[in-house]
Structure 1
Amino acid sequence: MKKHLWINGEHVEAKEYKSLITPYSKELLADVAVANEKEITKAIDAAENAFEKMRDMHAYDKADILNKVAYLLKEKKEFAAQLIAKEAGKPIKAATSEVDRTIMTYTFAAEEARRMTGETIMMDAAPGGENRTGYTVFEPLGIVGAITPFNFPMNLVAHKLGPALAAGNTVVLKPATQTPLSSYFIAELFDQAGLPKGALNVVTGSGKTIGDLFTTDNRIKALTFTGSPNVGKALKERAGMRKTLLELGSNSGVILDKHQDIVSSVKRCVQGAFSYSGQVCISVQRLYVHEEIYDDVISELIHQTKSLVTGDPLNEKTDVASLISEEDVERTLNWIEEALNDGAKLVHGGKSIGHQMVEPTVLTNVSDDCKLSREEAFAPIIIVNTFKELDEAISRLNNSKYGLQAGIFTDDIHKAFKAAKKIHAGGIMINDIPTFRVDHMPYGGVKDSGFGREGIKYAVKELSEMKFICINHIE
């Protein structure tokens, strides 16, 4: 099966194709188009030609299209989940959950399309402002270049497309090389829902080739990117005066204070650490446990980790499946070995299963200088260290170049507020894990974790331009 480019509302054959292999079974899924500069430019041309129609579209029409996409996706929920599970190697129950979230994301986008409201400014609040009415409106930017990762190939695409289209922009989308099928599927749903031809274009291929055109073609007015910090920084440096929205990496930490319901808090941490094999930006990677409950936490952590089912992502019982590539398996094992050589203790897992999987792994006494402490693992690993005083735990949690989300479990309201104030991250979850996210909340990080905020309401404003209008009432 060949998967062609999606340009101007139709499938367009490319000059080059590349085989797409599923991460778990290594079966051939499709031959996917590799766009060249001419084909990418054709997609930008289509987006440019469609912009006037999108800009002038009524709010209720945009909302209707987005709601129709949500409805069509709900009708094809099982097919969509199977598609994600195959191309991303995501356990089918997690893939099904992602489809549910995607439906909700487009529903939120439809709602926001109806309420892109500005505000009235009291002009006579300052001398000289008498007899004037001032107000703001939000207008679309133009063409949005969107680049998405493999780990949530449907919902993170929705977090680009939903706000951009709700605001009246057109989009050229570059999905992850490993997970393009979900994006082509969604493009067809938008076409069925009545989106103007050219308002959404999907091009697959080299990230460098597409990224270079996104940052050099002056018709691209905004970039929205989710992926690695190195690529995000490079895009931002080349973006110039374009609006840039970046959602980058993390090595999210959790503080587990004493006097906790250990079973329930550890259960949440296990879910946060090992869901989709840890290939989640806000996966629980670092756990700081009060020394008084450390032994009980480790015992419960091992017990719950052992109960996880590893294997085929299409099996309904599977909790942990493959990593996205064999190279990531090798990298993960090297990072575990580095930590062990530096004095860490392996209490569970630590080995590969075949060439595509890594066992759910628990390590203790991990040095703050190891890669597993400093970098984003994007693998099924949790490292556990102890603390005596809360300030120590906060300091170690903050000792990271990342700051996306963090969590603390405590029954002391003063400690909760202290952590909320002193932890340097874009989101702080009290009595929950940093992996918690619902799709209308503001989401984004500080430091190397990103720039700007997603969450439909917030992303709509990021992908819009405020205009101020003032009327002088001449008497």
Structure 2
Amino acid sequence: MKPLTKGLFINGEWIKKEAVYPLYSPYSGELLAHISRADPDDAEQAIAGADRAFAKMKALPAYERSRILARVARIIQDRKEELAKVLAREAGKPIRTARAELERTLVTYQFSAEEAKRIGGETIPMDAAPGGEGRLGMTWREPLGVVVAITPFNFPFNLVAHKLGPAFAAGNTVVLKPAEQTPLSALLIAEIFTEAGLPKGALQVVTGYGTELSDALLTDVRVKKISFTGSVQVGKLIKAKAGLKKVTLELGSNSGLIVEPDAPVDKIIPRCVEGAFAFAGQVCISLQRIYVHESIYREFTELFIRQTKKLNIGDPLDETTDLSSMIHPGETDRIEAWVNEAVQAGATIGCGGSRKGKLYPPTVLLNVTKEMKVSCHEVFAPVVSIVSYKELDEAIEMINDSVYGLNAGIYTSNIDNALYAARNIQAGGVMINDIPTFRVDHMPYGGVKESGYGREGIKYAVQEMTELKLITIKNMS
């Protein structure tokens, strides 16, 4: 297939740049496209266009914003197989997993369409305070203006939807900067929104390198909100540059799971394996640390390793593939070095641990200590550690002994212990009787500590992308 040449999407027009970069498939190495490389001037034009389009978006009635988002969901449904193949090629996501992401994506836009019609306020009892007599108080929410959305490679359709959907539901405009490795999906979404009737200029897409565009995107006074999903290091840089702009940061994690002795081990093993290795572990809530009570540790570990060995690794377009190559060879080099370092420090390999060219197999590590990178950092790779514990408090302490706090999980039949753990685990979400990788797209989602700032999930993202305004009316009669 001849490589495409893809342009920027600015003010409703496709603009091809002389400066481009090559986009290769992570698995096959095939040259997929030449991607236009935006510069600060392009970013300025995109922001200016989004700023001009804001007046029209703000005036658009809620039912029309809802209709546009619903149309987007229907178009995605009609084109799902085509979009899934693009995702498999540019991100190396197995085709079955890619289809599942597209299903979630259209649901995210459906939720956004519904939420567009629910944005309201409340009445305030002004006479509850002395001096408030004879006054009516009420609130409503207003859109902010230009939102800069910066998205990662691992869910290039659905994480884009989590930014565009709420932003447009609320009446904002968006400048989207997708990850360098997954621009094709973002550009396809621009086509889909155009077909769905989004006003010209409301969505701008600038492709290229974040290091070259960050100052232009983050410091412009016309930008009112920055929504970023990515690394902790970049998140801290964004927060430092954002000034008084609103910011939502979805950052890293090393999600942990507690397995209590009353958990049905044989029933939960397939789910735990899925949580550890889906999309080669390149998920911010991928199951990375499993703490298993000592009384069932051996049984759990043996069954987990046996199930892991059943996974198929290979071509993402093969229907039988469970996980494929990582996003970049440098990431494969990194995790290989981390695992080797852990083994040299005393960890043992239960299975995997030996790369096969571009592919890194699902790997289970035992005898891991908290100082090892595979435990205390975010692996973002198909590597999981299993550690035993004696008492629930010890397991909770190990979960909390981290700079991260996004999702955590616990399996137990004891509701008192489940709620005790939920109260004491330091995380944005605690999943009882499920893995921390669980997420549905309307729930509040976000972390504490270095896992981020703010919340996503459609209703909650709309709140983050609007300003609350108070109005009072004094009775003059």
TM-score when normalising by structure 1 = 0.99
Matches within 5 A, 1:9-24: 9-24=12-27
Residue 65 (structure 1) aligned with residue 64 (structure 2) = no
Within the candidate set 388, 395, 398, 1:393 is matched to 395
CA offsets, 1:186-217, max 9 Å, x none?
01100011101000000011102222112221
Match of 2:108 in 1: 105
Matches within 5 A, 1:44-193: 44-193=47-196
Residue 256 (structure 1) aligned with residue 291 (structure 2) = no
**Pairwise CA distance, 1:404:** 0.2
- Distance in 2, Cα, partners of 1:34 & 1:5: 8
Match of 1:422 in 2: 424
Match of 1:377 in 2: 379
CA offsets, 1:213-256, max 9 Å, x none?
12221111110000000000000011000000000000000000
- Distance in 1, Cα, partners of 2:169 & 2:37: 29
CA offsets, 1:336-387, max 9 Å, x none?
0111111111110001121x21110000110110001110000001101000
Match of 2:367 in 1: 365
Residue 28 (structure 1) aligned with residue 31 (structure 2) = yes
- Distance in 2, Cα, partners of 1:126 & 1:260: 53
CA offsets, 1:36-65, max 9 Å, x none?
111111111110110100011100010000
Which sections of structure 1, spanning at least 5 residues, go unmatched?
none
- Distance in 2, Cα, partners of 1:284 & 1:263: 18
8 Å contact 2:251–2:452 — kept in the other structure? yes
**Pairwise CA distance, 1:260:** 1.7
Match of 2:10 in 1: 7
- Distance in 1, Cα, partners of 2:453 & 2:99: 29
Q: Tell me the SS of whatever aligns to 1:428.
A: strand
Within the candidate set 404, 407, 410, 1:405 is matched to 407
- Distance in 1, Cα, partners of 2:376 & 2:275: 18
- Distance in 1, Cα, partners of 2:433 & 2:460: 25
8 Å contact 1:135–1:468 — kept in the other structure? yes
**Pairwise CA distance, 1:435:** 0.2
Which sections of structure 2, spanning at least 5 residues, go unmatched?
none
Residue 321 (structure 1) aligned with residue 324 (structure 2) = yes
8 Å contact 2:408–2:436 — kept in the other structure? yes
Q: Tell me the SS of whatever aligns to 2:174.
A: strand
CA offsets, 1:11-34, max 9 Å, x none?
112231111000000001110010
- Distance in 2, Cα, partners of 1:143 & 1:442: 23
TM-score when normalising by structure 2 = 0.99
8 Å contact 1:139–1:465 — kept in the other structure? yes
Match of 1:471 in 2: 473
Query: Quick one: which amino acid aligns to residue 458 of structure 1?
Result: Y
Query: Quick one: which amino acid aligns to residue 407 of structure 1?
Result: G
Residue 446 (structure 1) aligned with residue 443 (structure 2) = no
- Distance in 2, Cα, partners of 1:393 & 1:288: 6
**Could you list the runs of 4 or more consecutive aligned residues of structure 1 that deviate by over 2 angstroms after TM superposition?**
none
Aligned residues: 474
Query: Quick one: which amino acid aligns to residue 280 of structure 1?
Result: V
- Distance in 2, Cα, partners of 1:448 & 1:357: 30
**Pairwise CA distance, 1:124:** 1.2
Query: Quick one: which amino acid aligns to residue 94 of structure 1?
Result: T
- Distance in 1, Cα, partners of 2:286 & 2:444: 17
Q: Tell me the SS of whatever aligns to 1:448.
A: helix
8 Å contact 2:94–2:324 — kept in the other structure? yes
